[in-house]
Amino acid sequence: MAEHDLHETARALVAEGKGILAADESSGTIKKRFDSIGVESTEETRRAYRDLLFTTAGAEEFISGVILFDETIRQQALDGTPFPQLLESKGIIPGIKVDQGAKPLALADGETVTEGLDGLRERLAEYRGLGARFAKWRATYSISDALPSEYCIWTNAHALARYAALCQEAGIVPIVEPEVLMDGTHTIERAYHVTGRVLNALYTELFDQRVDVEGTLLKPNMVLSGYEASDRAGTDEVADWTLRCFAKHVPAAVPGIVFLSGGQSDEDATAHLNAMNARGPHPWQLSFSYGRALQAPALKAWGGEAENVEAGQRAYYHRAKMNSAARTGAYAPELEHEAA
């Protein structure tokens, strides 16, 4: 029965036309976002901002789940409803970020390993009680001519699989997020090669650690040229290289791939997803789990002012709608300028 529930939840998160809102920014990250609009990051301003996102009327047409931060899953909406219950009442599945961040990997200069396995079983039980039905764990890998090392790739794959096994034991769907960072001057071919190695190690460890991949989702980077590369690949090339990589390395049993937006602009992240779906059908659903690429216009429109809540909600609704269109290959840049 539990296995069936995991499969059902995983499939619901990648339901047709829908994707995931990542609202799990750590305290440091949300402070940077708030600094950019001149708003002090306090428990109350963070709560007010998430309230704006979660109470947006109609967003549930396009959003299947929301990843929450530890603070947020314990907070309440303006009317006193706990956020997980508010989301559930709209048919949106509450999720939780459980990793404790990327830390320097011992004896590996410039590489990281994600921490947070200690006490994770107990934390998952608590989060399940608070309403979480899925979780997220992010590992990061830097690209250079020499990086990432096999050591970094396999250490993070092992930790991702341990996390995933603990989630499934707790009745929670694990989203595994191996993010190959696109900072640098590397070519798209180099990104393809590195992403493939990372995915190969990840699925080897998931199988070795008895994780049922039908009850998981993958949250990867797209295969892109380095952000500082002189000659960057266009939308069609990104779609082709990314699909070729995932066709080789991601089992067809995985219900969905929910891409992260990384450092892409809002519209680029949507256009790339659209181009991939236009080339379908694929063995897995191709969806989104965007943070900044769903939120940036809303954050700017809101600016920390109560009278701008509606403007912020319109901006968020519009981005969610655009990404929903990209799920079926129906997005076009002209749609950006229609009334949200």
- Catalytic residue ranges: 177, 219
- Is-contact 211 219, C-beta < 8 A? no
- Is-contact 20 63, C-beta < 8 A? yes
- Is-contact 248 196, C-beta < 8 A? yes
Dihedrals phi, psi of 94, to nearest 5 degrees: -80, 140
* Separation of alpha carbons 67 and 73, rounded Å: 9
- Is-contact 87 93, C-beta < 8 A? yes
- Is-contact 64 18, C-beta < 8 A? yes
In which region does residue 34 sit, left (phi positive, over 0), alpha (psi from -120 to 50) or beta (all else)?
alpha
Dmax (CA) of the chain: 53
Place of tokens 């059908």: 281
Q: Where are the alpha helices (DSSP H) in the chain?
A: 2-13, 27-35, 43-54, 70-73, 83-89, 120-130, 150-169, 188-208, 235-249, 266-278, 292-302, 309-326
| Of the candidates 151, 133, 126, 98, the residue with the CA atom closest to the CA atom of residue 2 | 133
Place of tokens 């789990």: 289
* Separation of alpha carbons 103 and 125, rounded Å: 25
* Separation of alpha carbons 97 and 85, rounded Å: 17
